[in-house]
């Protein structure tokens, strides 16, 4: 066996005179991939447009060469090369050959004699039996046998959905087909000329290695520090490089489950990887995504990924499954977790730093995990309301995660007191000051809705107890409910006259104290009328806080029942004016301190 590393200057024509297979442990085909909004997938288009730009510089007698990169291969036995690095561009080049042939066939034009053999090689034995072999074979399960459809000229009928690779191969083929139709104008002569340039002048360096291990090391060197591939791909390579041959199939299966879990949750793999490290290991919060791979190279003793790559991959898979559940508002077991769902309603889709602490606590008992999620929700609201920067609260979350890793279930209460609850106490006075002066424009719409919904839900739970509907904050934040301005922003003359002094002051109208949550159907009838007329409609609301706006005492039903006990803690206003707005804002602020469990600092600590 040749023990040397052999770099070879190849063009596409000579490249596809050989056979290649992408081993089943390799990453999927990801060029052409789009996100749920239909964005992304520019790699194939860029690949073609870059080649076409050079093609346009060709003269009648000469043309510039165009270099598209390197591929790393290994031939341990037989005539087939294992493709260790470069499968994205190699697969795209192969699909381009398929699409060029298909277009010429569709145009009923002559297909260059060499072209079919660059896609499928036919061989006839002495018995007259003909076999056909694809020049490129994708062996990972995610691709199925779909590449054969493109190779055999059935690209237009190939499946467009199924697995990740099947979707991406379809998107890539479609992009190439559109390129031929639009840029090459469906002109047979132009298609053949571009084919000639593509196969003769597009160059690639093929690095042939004696063993897979050597190939993997070269792959790592070429892609060091995330150039060309990201840390997730490089980590996968690192694990396979340290794995034993008999572990490859198991490692491949684990890695596929891991990436599928993150992909299906529409999450970013690098964000997950960074959060996992911050949650599970003693990692500085300043770790950037582009530095993750370097961290793994320097800290193998922390993760043990070099000595036991399969075991490490298993731990990473467990974390990925939990992370995917968190992204769906679920606990580790995949059950709805109110604290996580509510934090999504509070923070929107972009705020996910709290996942770091959830990952650190994923081994807690279900009851304790719920406590952690609940306390996290409360603390996240305090951070966001008081304007704590994302960088700062992420730092505090990471510190808490490092502490959580060192405790048992029995110590959770003490941990919460010293971390999340202590954070809320530290910010208690700022929390109160912010709420007392809060105006609508100081909070994003969904966060203001969360605030009012949470206050309204709390009163209902206190009065009526738990139920399927009342337990779900989303039932309160849902589109069927409105944020009502008691003195409307466009109040009628009669309403302003009844309100009195300050009615025209936008600061009063946009105060938290001037807002309540009410069903949309009731709100439609309210419009911009007088408070004395509105309070009749407020009485019809199912939300006790809204129902009691004008007369709480009217809703007492007994002496010692929980509804009456709750109602007696509420304040109400028969008339509505600037003083009432201030009073109600103070009332809601005090209520918020209870709802979000804000322990006020003692006088001695002030």
Q: pLDDT digits over 45-99, tens only? A: 989 989 998 998 888 888 999 999 899 998 866 789 989 888 899 999 999 999 9
Residue 224, pLDDT > 70, answer no
Q: pLDDT by residue (tens digit) across 331-356?
A: 999 999 999 999 999 988 778 999 99
Residues facing 207 on adjacent strands: 7, 72
Q: pLDDT by residue (tens digit) across 515-564?
A: 999 999 998 888 789 999 999 999 999 999 999 999 988 888 777 789 99
**Mean of per-residue pLDDT scores for the chain:** 90
For residues 259 and 232, what is the distance between their CA atoms, to the nearest angstrom?
A: 9
* DSSP designation for 37: T
Tokens of 523: 């709100």
For residues 416 and 423, what is the distance between their CA atoms, to the nearest angstrom?
A: 10
The domain spans of the chain are: 6-222, 243-428, 440-603
Other beta carbons less than 10 A from residue 494's beta carbon: 13
Confidence of residue 214 (pLDDT cuts 50, 70, 90): confident
Collapsing DSSP to helix, strand or coil, 79 comes out as coil
Classify each residue of 201-240 as buried b or exposed e, where b means 16 or more C-beta atoms within 10 Å of its C-beta. Answer: bbbbebbbbbebebbbbbbbebbeebebbbbbbbbbbbbb
Q: pLDDT by residue (tens digit) across 242-261?
A: 888 888 889 988 998 998 89
Collapsing DSSP to helix, strand or coil, 200 comes out as helix
Quick one: which of 515, 458, 513, 512 has its CA closest to 481? 515
Quick one: which of 67, 156, 140 has its CA closest to 106? 156
Q: Are 482 and 520 in contact (CB under 8 A)?
A: yes
Question: 346: number of CA atoms within 13 Å, CB side?
Answer: 24
Quick one: which of 252, 298, 11, 21 has its CA closest to 134? 21
Residues facing 181 on adjacent strands: none
Burial of residue 3 (CB within 10 Å: 0-12, 13-18, 19+) is exposed
Residue 37, pLDDT > 80, answer no
Q: How far is CA 82 from CA 26, 132, 443, 588, in A?
A: 10, 19, 56, 67
For residues 559 and 209, what is the distance between their CA atoms, to the nearest angstrom?
A: 86
Q: Are 265 and 324 in contact (CB under 8 A)?
A: yes
Q: How far is CA 166 from CA 33, 118, 143, 226, in A?
A: 10, 22, 6, 26
Crossing angle, helix 366-385 and helix 428-436, to 10 degrees? 60
pLDDT score at 225: 39
Q: Give the pairing type, strands 66-74 and 80-85.
A: antiparallel
Three-state SS string over 214-247 comes to HHHHHHHHHCHHHCCCCHHHHHHHHHHHHCCHHH
Tokens of 380: 């996240």
For residues 211 and 375, what is the distance between their CA atoms, to the nearest angstrom?
A: 53
The terminus-to-terminus CA distance of the chain in angstroms comes to 78
Q: Are 361 and 369 in contact (CB under 8 A)?
A: yes
Q: Give the pairing type, strands 481-485 and 515-519.
A: antiparallel
pLDDT score at 313: 94
Burial of residue 597 (CB within 10 Å: 0-12, 13-18, 19+) is middle
For residues 230 and 241, what is the distance between their CA atoms, to the nearest angstrom?
A: 17
CA 246, chain centre distance (Å)? 33
């Amino acid at each position: 066996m040749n023990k040397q590393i052999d770099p070879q200057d190849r063009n596409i024509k000579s490249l596809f005179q050989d056979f290649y297979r992408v081993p089943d442990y390799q990453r999927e085909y990801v060029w052409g991939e789009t996100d749920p909004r239909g964005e992304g997938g520019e790699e194939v288009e860029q690949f073609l447009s870059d080649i076409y730009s050079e093609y346009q510089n060709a003269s009648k007698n000469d043309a510039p060469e165009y270099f598209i990169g390197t591929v790393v291969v290994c031939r341990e036995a037989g005539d087939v090369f294992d493709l260790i690095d470069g499968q994205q561009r190699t697969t795209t080049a192969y699909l381009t050959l398929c699409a060029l042939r298909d277009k010429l066939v569709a145009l009923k034009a002559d297909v260059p004699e060499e072209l079919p053999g660059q896609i499928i090689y036919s061989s006839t034995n002495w018995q007259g039996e003909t076999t056909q072999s694809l020049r490129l074979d994708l062996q990972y399960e995610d691709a199925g046998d779909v590449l054969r459809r493109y190779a055999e000229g059935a690209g237009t009928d190939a499946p467009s959905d199924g697995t990740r690779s099947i979707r991406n191969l379809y998107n890539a083929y479609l992009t190439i087909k559109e390129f031929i139709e639009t840029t090459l104008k469906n002109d047979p002569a132009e298609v053949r000329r571009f084919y000639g340039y593509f196969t003769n002048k597009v160059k690639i360096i093929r690095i042939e290695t004696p063993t897979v291990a050597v190939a993997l090391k070269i792959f790592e060197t070429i892609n060091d520090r995330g150039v060309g591939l990201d840390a997730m791909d490089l980590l996968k390579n690192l694990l396979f490089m340290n794995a034993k041959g008999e572990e490859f199939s198991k490692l491949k299966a684990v890695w596929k489950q891991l990436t599928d879990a993150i992909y299906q949750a529409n999450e970013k793999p690098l964000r997950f990887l960074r959060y996992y490290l911050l949650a599970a290991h003693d990692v500085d919060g300043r770790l950037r995504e582009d530095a993750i791979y370097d961290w793994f190279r320097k800290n193998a003793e922390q993760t043990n990924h070099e000595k036991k790559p399969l075991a490490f991959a298993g731990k990473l898979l467990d974390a990925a499954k939990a992370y995917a559940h968190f992204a769906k508002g679920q606990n580790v077991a995949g059950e709805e977790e109110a604290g996580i769902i509510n934090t999504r309603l509070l923070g929107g889709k972009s705020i996910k730093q709290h996942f770091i602490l959830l990952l650190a606590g994923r081994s807690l008992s279900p009851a304790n995990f719920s406590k952690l999620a609940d306390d996290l929700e409360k603390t996240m609201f305090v951070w966001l309301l008081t304007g704590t920067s994302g960088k700062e609260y992420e730092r505090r979350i990471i510190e808490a995660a490092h502490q959580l890793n060192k405790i048992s279930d029995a110590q959770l209460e003490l941990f919460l007191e010293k971390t999340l609850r202590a954070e809320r106490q530290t910010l208690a006075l700022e929390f109160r000051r912010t709420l007392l002066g809060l105006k609508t424009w100081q909070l994003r719409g969904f966060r203001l809705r969360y605030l009012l919904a949470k206050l309204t839900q709390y009163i209902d739970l206190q009065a009526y107890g738990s139920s399927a509907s009342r337990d779900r904050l989303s039932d309160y934040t849902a589109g069927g409910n409105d944020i009502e301005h008691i003195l409307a922003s466009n109040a009628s003359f009669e309403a302003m006259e009844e309100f009195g002094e300050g009615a025209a002051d936008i600061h009063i109208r946009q105060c938290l104290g001037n807002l309540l949550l009410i069903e949309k159907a009731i709100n439609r009838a309210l419009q911009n009328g007088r408070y004395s007329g509105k309070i009749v409609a407020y009485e019809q609301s199912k939300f006790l806080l809204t129902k009691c706006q004008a007369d709480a005492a009217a809703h007492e039903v007994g002496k010692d029942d929980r509804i009456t006990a709750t109602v007696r803690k509420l304040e109400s206003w028969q008339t509505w004016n600037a003083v009432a707005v201030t009073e109600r804002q103070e009332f809601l602020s005090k209520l918020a301190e209870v709802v979000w469990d804000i322990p006020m600092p003692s006088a001695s600590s002030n």
